[in-house]
């Protein structure tokens, strides 16, 4: 928008007057605005501010018909010179024009000089019944920042309608009165005029909320406190400034046009969102100033590039002197400057190059790990960065790997070294081609080609020297047959003198022969076997046996070579197999036979398996593949160890017979098979013992004689033991033959009773015991399998009571004992035993008896039985967790059911 002011006597003034005339004739008038201003107005000071958009929304032309005032686009009215207003009112007009809509508007401005008004006191008087507008109400008020006075300066007047009826006194309170800043405002208590005592800084105080009060002399308040808000109008008294006075930014060299470099920001302390804080940025100067590489967006402050010629190698730093101005960048706006430094980041747009096009050097033959040459390069890129650090490569001439090139990190030079000895007799001179690049990839500059690798040549001259014997090749291979006997000659390792190309004068010595197979001829180096060569030896790896030899000349110089004896395989080993075989019937019914042949593959599989005829009725063998076979039992066999003879042949028919020890178990894995040692030892003995015909005849005759002797003894025994026996039917239910193993009846009380008379029971020489043998036994009660035996030493004979069913039914009744005889035989002896037990204080005689209350030592797993146990025992079933394999099948069957 254009803001114009009239200048008398100029052409522009005439055009302005003509425009005003047109606007006056054709424009419409807006509302009239009155402004109260000081009587003295200084030049270029704000008079007031009007809202232009209320009159015309978009005005393209703003004019004032009074050259003493200029109007800004935001409606601010400024004086163009010092003015002194007369007591009369001064008025002028603002003309607005919209060229697009062809509209014109006029705003009439009336300026009224502020004068001091005198109010006289009012006393109580008669009420006047007249309706008027209420004056005790908030009135908008604004104060100009940095006002020049004169002070005290009138701000506003408050009046109460009750002043017509009462004598009213006015007072105020709040910030600027009785709060900070103190004494900035005061009020005339009689007239209600409010005054300001000094200028105000809006950046410190934006507004003042105060309260006005109206009271009578006796303290009565006819009005509520009146809130007043004094807003401080901003004056453009703060220039914008950059946050940092000197700022550094980076941008890559060779970047494209429009690349954003950075964004600058500035601060203005004036009122935001006004023309006072509308900032514009501008580049005042670029150092160096040619050519222009940068521009700045005036509103956002974004700096961008305008050229493709940013080359760090020509200029690495640019300085921009920048300006920031408020008031939308108008010439009367306040401004400030700052310095922006832009550094260019290096790109690898320059290839390194050697200082010389060709290099020459020399080195003695057979020298290793020696530096022979250093080469320097130049690079325009930034030093000590990946864009300038050199990487060297040997492009040609190092096919044998004799040289190595590296970079010195301190000097960036190429260091050429010999890492493998050179031979003058083979090559007198070597030409190397060497190239150099950077650690970083090459990048091309605008309108230019990408840099390429720089190369140079290095000529290396090999110097001759007197050297020792030469062992070439380092490893020599000779062939020999497997099983070669001792005393055979083999061609040995031959070394040469490189000067004479012959082996005369060299002496050979063996330095490595692990199994000591050979002797070496000191002069010729030939080998002589001292052992039979065995390909299957543990010292042979991949059919090769190594012998290391050192050759020494007359000056003591030596070289070392290795002689590899390659053994040709011979079919001298039959297939071998592990003889311990286990078949777990619970898992599978066969065993997998996997023999091994120490010979090579050409003398090994396929194998042929064959069973001995003696075991064909029990076992069968099935070929699985060329290397393995299945061994199965033809029928159900007992769990045991069996001997199974078997023959295995290789592909050329070389065979061996093996006797397999096959363990047949009820197990899941072979490790669980635990056959008794008796079975194993018995089986071994049976397998190894072969009886002849005379031994068998002797065994038969001996068995016959033994049977005759036993038969004779049996007949004599029957005759002597035919005595009286107790009949089964006369036992009167005291002795009963029973085959049941069930529990007996519970015994509630003991059946043994102590005798009342002891004098007629036994004499002092008769002592009996219950059991097998006694110390002073005169009568023995012996329990035998199938019956009871009564033995009495007094009668001088032996009496037997048998309880075999049907055994004594053929005998006469006179030969049997009656129950009375049995009772008379046992009663005295049992009574005597019980009596002695009761009389003995040390209980020696009672140690044979069973006592439920006595500790009997470590208990058994079965526990106590019957009436001998007074307390319940635990089940004791822990042994079920450790059953043998044969019981697992029963257990699993029970679980399945």
- CA 216 from chain centre, in angstroms, equals 86
Indicate whether 859 pLDDT > 60. Answer: no
Q: Model confidence at 775, in pLDDT bands (50, 70, 90)?
A: very low
Average model confidence (pLDDT) across the chain:
75
The answer to whether 280 and 324 have CB atoms below 8 angstroms apart is yes
* Cβ proximity of 324 and 296 under 8 Å: no
For 732-817, strand residue ranges (E) read 767-770, 777-784, 787-792, 797-802
Q: Which residue has the higher pLDDT, 545 or 359?
A: 359
Is the pLDDT reported for residue 408 higher than 50? yes
Task: Report the pLDDT value the prediction gives residue 452, as an integer from 0 to 100.
Answer: 84
3-state secondary structure (DSSP) of residue 774: coil
At CA 528, angle to CA 524 and CA 532, rounded to 5? Answer: 160
pLDDT tens by residue, 659-685: 888 888 878 777 777 765 444 444 443
> Smallest Cα–Cα separation from 208: which of 183, 186, 176?
176
Q: What is the pLDDT of residues 175-234, one digit of tens each?
A: 999 999 999 999 999 889 999 999 999 989 999 999 999 999 888 888 899 999 999 999
In angstroms, the CA 295 to CA 286 distance is 10
The 10s digit of each residue's pLDDT in 104-163 is 888 888 888 765 444 334 444 334 444 444 678 888 888 899 888 888 889 999 988 888
pLDDT of residue 843: 54
Strand, coil or helix: 832? helix
Would you give the DSSP letter of residue 52?
A: G
Lowest average pLDDT, out of 282-296, 703-717, 733-747, goes to 733-747
* Gap between the Cα atoms of 357 and 345, Å rounded: 31
pLDDT digits (tens, 9 = 90+) for 238-249: 999 998 877 889
As a whole number of angstroms, the distance between CA 561 and CA 570 comes to: 28
Residue 293 in this model has a pLDDT that exceeds 50: yes
pLDDT single digits (tens) 864-873:
544 444 444 4
Q: Of 253-262, 279-288, 851-860, which gets the smallest average pLDDT? A: 851-860
Residue 447 — pLDDT band, cuts 50, 70, 90?
low
Contacts of 352 (CB under 8 A, 6+ apart): 377, 378, 379, 388, 390, 436, 437, 438, 454
| Mean pLDDT score, 846-871 | 50
pLDDT at residue 115, as a whole number: 54
What's the pLDDT at 630? 83
CA distances 791 to 563, 800, 826, Å, are 97, 8, 11
Reported confidence tier of residue 877, pLDDT bands at 50, 70, 90 = low
- Mean pLDDT to the nearest integer, 313-321: 90
Q: What is the pLDDT of residues 46-82, one digit of tens each?
A: 888 888 888 887 888 888 888 888 888 888 888 888 8
What number is the average pLDDT over the span 873-885? 59
pLDDT at 205: 92
pTM to 2 decimal places: 0.41
Instruction: Look at 751 and 842; give whichever has higher pLDDT.
Output: 842
**pLDDT of residue 460 exceeding 90:** yes
What is residue 652's DSSP assignment? T
For residue 568, is pLDDT > 80? Answer: no
**Residues linked to residue 341 through DSSP beta bridges, in sequence order:** 248, 319
Please determine, for residue 745, whether its predicted confidence score (pLDDT) is greater than 60: no
Of 576 and 868, the structure prediction assigns the larger pLDDT to 576
Q: Which two tokens stand for residue 393?
A: 């490569």
Q: What is the dihedral of CA 466, 468, 471, 472, to 10 degrees?
A: 10
Q: What is the pLDDT of residue 750?
A: 43
Binned at pLDDT 50, 70 and 90, residue 334 comes out as: very high
CA distance 658 to 645: 6
- pLDDT > 70 in the chain, percent: 71
The segment with the largest mean pLDDT, out of 32-36, 423-427, 433-437, 718-722, is 433-437
Total residues belonging to the chain: 897
Average pLDDT, integer, range 837-849 = 57
Residue 75, pLDDT score: 84
How far is Cα of residue 261 from the mean position of the Cα atoms in its chain? 41
- For residue 777, which of 765, 789, 759 has the smallest C-alpha distance? 765
């Amino acid at each position: 928008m254009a803001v114009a002011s009239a200048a008398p006597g100029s052409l522009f003034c005439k055009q302005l007057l003509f425009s005003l005339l047109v606007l006056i004739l054709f424009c419409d008038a807006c509302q009239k605005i009155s402004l109260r201003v000081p009587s003295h107005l200084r030049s270029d000071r704000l008079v007031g501010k009007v809202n232009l958009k209320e009159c015309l929304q978009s005005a393209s032309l703003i004019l004032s018909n009074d050259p003493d005032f200029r109007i800004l686009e935001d409606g601010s009215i400024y004086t163009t010179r010092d003015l002194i207003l007369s007591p009369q009112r001064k008025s002028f007009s603002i003309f607005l024009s919209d060229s697009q809509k062809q509209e014109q508007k006029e705003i009439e401005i009336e300026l009224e000089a502020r004068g001091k008004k005198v109010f006289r006191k009012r006393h109580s008087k008669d009420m006047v019944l007249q309706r008027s507008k209420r004056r005790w109400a908030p009135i908008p008020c604004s104060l100009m920042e940095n006002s020049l006075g004169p002070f005290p300066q009138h701000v506003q007047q408050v009046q109460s309608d009750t002043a017509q009826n009462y004598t009213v006194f006015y007072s105020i309170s709040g910030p600027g009165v009785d709060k900070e800043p103190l004494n900035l405002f005061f009020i005339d208590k009689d007239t209600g005029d409010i005054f300001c005592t000094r200028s105000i800084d809006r950046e410190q105080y934006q507004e003042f909320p105060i309260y006005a009060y109206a009271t009578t002399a006796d303290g009565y308040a006819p009005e509520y406190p009146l809130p007043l808000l004094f807003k401080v109008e901003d004056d453009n008294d703060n220039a914008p400034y950059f946050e940092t006075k000197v700022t550094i930014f980076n941008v890559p060299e060779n970047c494209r046009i429009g690349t954003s470099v950075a964004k600058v920001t500035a601060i203005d302390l004036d009122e935001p969102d006004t023309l006072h804080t509308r900032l514009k940025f501008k580049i005042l100067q670029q150092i160096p100033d040619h050519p222009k590489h940068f521009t700045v967006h005036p509103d956002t402050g974004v700096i961008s590039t305008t050229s493709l010629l940013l080359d760090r190698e020509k200029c690495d730093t640019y300085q921009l002197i920048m300006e920031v101005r408020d008031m939308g960048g108008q010439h009367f706006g306040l401004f400030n400057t700052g310095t922006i430094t832009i550094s260019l980041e290096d790109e690898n747009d320059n290839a390194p190059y050697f200082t010389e096009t060709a290099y020459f050097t020399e080195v003695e033959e057979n020298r290793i790990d020696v530096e022979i040459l250093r080469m320097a390069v130049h690079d325009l890129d930034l030093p000590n960065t990946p864009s300038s650090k050199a990487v060297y490569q040997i492009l040609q001439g190092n096919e044998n790997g004799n040289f190595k090139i590296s970079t010195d990190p301190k000097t960036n030079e190429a260091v050429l070294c010999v890492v493998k000895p050179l031979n003058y007799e083979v090559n007198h001179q070597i030409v190397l081609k060497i190239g150099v690049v950077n650690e970083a990839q090459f990048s091309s500059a605008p309108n230019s080609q990408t840099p390429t690798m720089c190369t140079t040549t290095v000529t290396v001259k090999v110097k001759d020297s007197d050297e020792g014997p030469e062992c070439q090749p380092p490893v020599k291979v000779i062939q020999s047959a497997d099983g070669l006997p001792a005393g055979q000659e083999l061609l040995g390792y031959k070394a040469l003198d490189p000067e004479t190309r012959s082996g005369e004068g060299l002496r050979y010595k063996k330095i490595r022969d692990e199994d000591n197979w050979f002797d070496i001829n000191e002069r010729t180096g030939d080998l002589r076997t001292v052992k039979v060569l065995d390909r299957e030896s543990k010292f042979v790896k991949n059919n090769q046996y190594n012998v290391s030899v050192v050759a020494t000349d007359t000056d003591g110089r030596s070289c070392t070579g290795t002689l590899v004896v390659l053994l040709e395989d011979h079919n001298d080993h039959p297939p071998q197999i592990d003889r311990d075989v286990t078949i777990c019937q619970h898992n599978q019914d066969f065993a997998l036979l996997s023999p091994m042949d120490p010979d090579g593959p050409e003398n090994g599989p396929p194998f042929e398996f064959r069973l001995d005829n003696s075991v064909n009725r029990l076992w069968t063998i099935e070929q699985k593949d060329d290397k393995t076979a299945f061994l199965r039992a033809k029928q159900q066999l007992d769990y045991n160890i069996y001997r199974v003879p078997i023959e295995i042949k290789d592909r050329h028919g070389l065979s061996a017979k093996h006797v397999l020890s096959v363990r047949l178990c009820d197990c899941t894995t072979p490790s669980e098979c635990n056959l008794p040692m008796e079975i194993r030892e018995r089986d071994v003995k049976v397998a190894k013992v072969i009886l002849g015909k005379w031994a068998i005849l002797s065994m038969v005759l001996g068995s016959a004689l033994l049977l005759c002797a036993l038969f004779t003894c049996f007949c004599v025994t029957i005759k002597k033991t035919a005595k009286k026996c107790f009949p089964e039917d006369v036992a009167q239910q005291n002795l009963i033959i029973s085959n049941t193993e069930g529990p007996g009846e519970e015994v509630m009380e003991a059946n043994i009773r102590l005798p009342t008379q002891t004098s007629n029971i036994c004499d002092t020489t008769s002592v009996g015991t219950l059991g097998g043998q006694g110390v002073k036994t005169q009568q023995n009660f012996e329990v035998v399998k199938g019956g009871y035996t009564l033995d009495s030493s007094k009668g001088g004979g032996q009496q037997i009571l048998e309880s075999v069913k049907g055994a004594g039914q053929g005998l006469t009744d006179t030969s049997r004992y009656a129950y009375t005889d049995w009772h008379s035989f046992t009663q005295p002896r049992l009574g005597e035993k019980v009596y002695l037990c009761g009389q003995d204080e040390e209980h020696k005689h009672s140690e044979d008896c069973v006592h439920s209350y006595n500790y009997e030592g470590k208990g058994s797993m079965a526990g106590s039985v019957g009436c001998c146990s007074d307390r319940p025992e635990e089940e004791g079933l822990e042994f079920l967790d450790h059953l043998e394999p044969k019981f697992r099948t029963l257990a699993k069957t029970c679980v399945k059911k």
